[in-house]
Amino acid sequence: MHLHVESEGKGRDVVLLHGWGMSGKCWDPVFRGLAQEFRVHRVDLPGHGSSGHCSGDWVEVLAQAFPSEVSLCGWSLGGQLALQWTQRYPERIGRLALVSSTPSFVSREDWAHGIPEGTFAEFADALESDPEATLKRFLFLQARGGEDAPGIFRKLQDCLERTEMAALKKGLDLLLNSDLRKTAQSVARPALVLHGECDRLTPLAAGKWLAENMPDGKLEKISGCAHAPFISHPGGFVSKLTEFFDEY
């Protein structure tokens, strides 16, 4: 399959992985800022943007595309993929940044920091009946609670590109079924958890759990920020990420 990757800059390699329903275009506000210090690669996940769909293992597709050492920055679903990539190939990952990420997107018997499974199922049903309206609702949830929510919502809308329905469904399946708490506890690479204090989609408590339970994790909270800090607070995002990756 064809995996679309846009690369820019020089230095250590940093791979950016976007969230559900989006594409590498979402990194526009920070892409060139990060490329001042690093060789930055923004990926369209399978079936998103300009990448072909793949019904197989997305983590393996990504790992095969970058066989040499890289550092990873994953947002939301991209963070879950980055966690699994790091667990499988720790010798090929320098540092790991998890943005607005959670080990479990849905609530479980012993996990209170997720969305109720019934609510998630309703969302999946709505995607089948009205994909455009459901994607807009998802963007609204990402912007809600933070500073200038209407403005962030519009910027997120501008980032939408073509996503195949099969890829949207596979992404939802991954979010529904992934419980990566044991994975996170086994990942010993230096990890930065960047999380908005106002995130209503993946609550700050999930980010705190990751930072406290990963062997070498630390949390950076962003005040006034909801689910997309690289869009709402691009300057601070680039600064925090650059400082973290420069420590390596």
CATH fold label, 5-246 = Rossmann fold (3.40.50)
* Rounded distance between C-alpha atoms, residue 88 and residue 183, angstroms: 10
The pLDDT value recorded for residue 160 is 84
Per-residue b or e along 35-73, where b marks 16 or more CB atoms closer than 10 Å to that residue's CB: bebbbbbbbbbbbbbebebbeeebbebbbeebeeebbbb
* Rounded distance between C-alpha atoms, residue 14 and residue 248, angstroms: 12
Our answer to whether residue 76 is catalytic in this structure is yes
* Rounded distance between C-alpha atoms, residue 194 and residue 21, angstroms: 20
The structure tokens 């996990």 sit at 111
H or E segment to which residue 221 belongs: strand 217-222
Who contacts 170 (Cβ-Cβ below 8 Å, separation ≥6)? Answer: 46, 47, 55, 58
Per-residue confidence of the chain (248 residues) as pLDDT tens digits? 789 999 999 999 999 999 999 999 999 999 999 999 999 999 999 999 999 988 899 999 999 999 999 999 999 999 999 999 999 999 999 999 999 999 999 999 999 999 998 888 899 899 989 988 999 999 999 999 999 999 999 999 888 888 899 999 999 999 999 999 999 999 999 999 999 999 999 999 999 999 999 999 999 999 999 999 999 999 999 999 999 999 86
The pLDDT value recorded for residue 220 is 96
The pLDDT value recorded for residue 63 is 97
Provide the token pair at 224: 């006034």
Our answer to whether residue 199 is catalytic in this structure is yes
Of 51, 71, 76, 100, which one is the catalytic site residue? 76
**In this structure, are residues 74 and 46 in contact, taking their beta carbons and an 8 Å threshold?**
no
The pLDDT value recorded for residue 121 is 87
Of 18, 44, 100, 199, which one is the catalytic site residue? 199
Nearest to 143 by CA among 231, 74, 73: 231
What residues does 72 pair with on adjacent strands?
15, 96
The pLDDT value recorded for residue 1 is 72
The pLDDT value recorded for residue 55 is 84
Our answer to whether residue 148 is catalytic in this structure is no
Helix, strand or coil for residue 46? coil
The pLDDT value recorded for residue 102 is 98
* Ordered DSSP codes for 229-247: HHHHSHHHHHHHHHHHHHT
Per-residue b or e along 93-128, where b marks 16 or more CB atoms closer than 10 Å to that residue's CB: bbbbbbbbbbbbbbbeeebebbbeeeebeebbeebe
* Rounded distance between C-alpha atoms, residue 232 and residue 102, angstroms: 20
Who contacts 36 (Cβ-Cβ below 8 Å, separation ≥6)? Answer: 9
Of 18, 48, 227, 233, which one is the catalytic site residue? 227
